[in-house]
Amino acid sequence: MIYLDNAASTQIRDEVLSVINEELVNSFANPSSPYTPARKSRIAIDKARKIFSGILNCQENEIVFTSGGTESDNTAIKGPAKALENLGNHIITTTTEHHAVLHTCNSLEKQGFDVTYLPTDKYGMVSKESVLSAIKENTILISIIYANNEIGAINPIKEIGQALKKIKNKGSRFPLFHTDAIQAAPFLDLNIEELGVDLLSLSAHKFNGPKGIGVLYMKNGTPFEPLITGGGQERQKRSGTENIAFISAAAQAIQLAEDEKKQLYLKVSKLKNKIINQLKQNHPEIILNGHPLQSLPNIINLTIPNIRADDLISALDIEDVCISNGSACTSNSLEPSHVLQAIGISAKLALNTIRISLGRYNFENEIIEFLFIIDKILKRIKMNTPEIINK
């Protein structure tokens, strides 16, 4: 199998799997209990929290463990919004966010919140100026994706964050600033001081960790109303008995990813360029979506006119090659991608668009094989489609 859908999920690392197995056996006690085995469980969670805080350059008590990226995004937006609704009800986001953010904002609109959905440029990027100009007196929260999960476009989070810091230095605590860093985590800087964010979302299965475990950085002092209440775990921010094995595994995964970040960036960049160059050379009608430079090194989003993405994906699947047509959350939908439509691509062309995404377990030999297979399939489809021959 040639797996080229790493933006959807990554293969768990052996080192991470070992941590899961070890903690399932050794940290079985409830960490909220008062006896020695429970303290061992608590120590495992504290160790994981320390690893994440070190990488994000934040306080350990600013790390909240969740069930995944979707919960982290929901919590980052709904928690502060509900806590601040008496002070303001305006939220700013973009039209190209992940559905975990968009649908959360849609839900808040039904509860009386005012949401501004900023348009992006043709590359799927929002400017610092457009974000700042959208701020009102009642703006309480801004949520901008760090790097887009479909086209890889990198937003100027640092520039926006630093500009918002200057606003807050004049005496205001708001607006709070959240970024969905779920796709960015294996490749981009996660230092929250540099980014200037108050909240940041992560999901372990995007950096070779397990599914079902997420992280939310929440700056101390952030007004917050919890989504999940109960026993008061995670310092009253997210109740529920902690998933110790996956928390520990996520910490191991992020540490390994951070240690190898530069190496992985260079590796997948090289493979990405090889794929783009050869496909464009053999099929010049192909359109590359997203910014050619300010983009994640592992995501390739291509529109192939007159060839349905689902037909191509099915043909590749028969050859044991895995790619997608966009976000895994909506890959089975017949609706065209909201991200592609937001950057000006027609609904018809959006349905002719594929996403190839690379990871640490991809190597040049399989990319060569993939290029041979997809070239063969594209030529076959063109031969059987007269209207393509004439274009």
Q: How many domains does the chain contain in total?
A: 2
Q: Which residue has the tokens 């928390």?
A: 247
Residues 235 and 328 in one domain: no
Residue 193 domain boundaries: 14-259
Give the chain's mean pLDDT.
Answer: 95
Collect all residues with Cβ–Cβ distance below 8 Å to 48 and sequence separation of at least 6. 65, 247, 248, 250, 251
Residue 247: both structure tokens together = 């928390």
Distance in angstroms (rounded) separating the CA atoms of residues 271 and 361: 12
Q: Which residue, 215, 243, 259, sits at the end of a domain?
A: 259
Are the CB atoms for 218 and 80 separated by under 8 Å?
A: no
Residue 111 predicted with pLDDT over 80:
yes
Distance in angstroms (rounded) separating the CA atoms of residues 250 and 320: 29
Question: pLDDT tens digit string along 351-378?
Answer: 999 999 999 999 999 999 999 999 999 9
Q: Which residue has the tokens 């690392």?
A: 13
Stated length of the chain = 391
Residues 255 and 373 in one domain: no
Distance in angstroms (rounded) separating the CA atoms of residues 260 and 258: 5
Distance in angstroms (rounded) separating the CA atoms of residues 364 and 293: 21
CATH number of the domain within which 96 lies: 3.40.640.10
Per-residue confidence at 390, pLDDT binned at 50, 70, 90? very low
Catalytic residues: 329
Q: Between these two residues, 171 and 304, which has the higher pLDDT value?
A: 304
Task: Give residue 169's pLDDT.
Answer: 82
Residue 210 predicted with pLDDT over 60:
yes
Section 41-66 average pLDDT:
98
Task: Give residue 106's pLDDT.
Answer: 98
Are the CB atoms for 181 and 332 separated by under 8 Å?
A: no
Q: Which residue has the tokens 């397990």?
A: 210
Residues 101 and 198 in one domain: yes
Residues 238 and 299 in one domain: no
Residue 268 predicted with pLDDT over 90:
yes
Task: Give residue 386's pLDDT.
Answer: 55
Residues 377 and 248 in one domain: no
Name the percent of the chain lying above pLDDT 70.
96
Are the CB atoms for 212 and 243 separated by under 8 Å?
A: yes
Task: Give residue 334's pLDDT.
Answer: 67
Residues 371 and 305 in one domain: yes
Residue 206 predicted with pLDDT over 50:
yes
Residues 195 and 220 in one domain: yes
Residues 78 and 165 in one domain: yes
Per-residue confidence at 391, pLDDT binned at 50, 70, 90? very low
Residue 73: both structure tokens together = 């995004």
CATH number of the domain within which 330 lies: 3.90.1150.10
Section 23-52 average pLDDT:
96
Residues 382 and 354 in one domain: yes
Residue 11: both structure tokens together = 């293969």
3-state secondary structure of 28: coil
Residue 278: both structure tokens together = 């050869």
Task: Give residue 81's pLDDT.
Answer: 98
> pTM value?
0.95
Section 327-342 average pLDDT:
74
Task: Give residue 384's pLDDT.
Answer: 81
Name the percent of the chain lying above pLDDT 90.
92
Residues 326 and 277 in one domain: yes
Q: Which residue has the tokens 């399989």?
A: 366
Kindly report which listed range (9-23, 159-173, 297-311, 356-370) carries the lowest average pLDDT score: 159-173
Are the CB atoms for 192 and 217 separated by under 8 Å?
A: yes
Residues 360 and 235 in one domain: no
Task: Give residue 383's pLDDT.
Answer: 86
Helical spans, DSSP H, in 176-300: 192-195, 244-259, 261-282
Distance in angstroms (rounded) separating the CA atoms of residues 257 and 253: 6
Residues 20 and 133 in one domain: yes
Residue 330 predicted with pLDDT over 80:
no
Helical spans, DSSP H, in the chain: 14-26, 36-56, 69-84, 99-109, 128-133, 157-169, 192-195, 244-259, 261-282, 309-318, 338-342, 347-350, 364-383, 386-389
Q: Which residue, 220, 239, 259, sits at the end of a domain?
A: 259
Q: Which residue, 197, 224, 259, sits at the end of a domain?
A: 259
Section 87-105 average pLDDT:
98
The packing angle between helices 364-383 and 261-282, to 10°, is 30
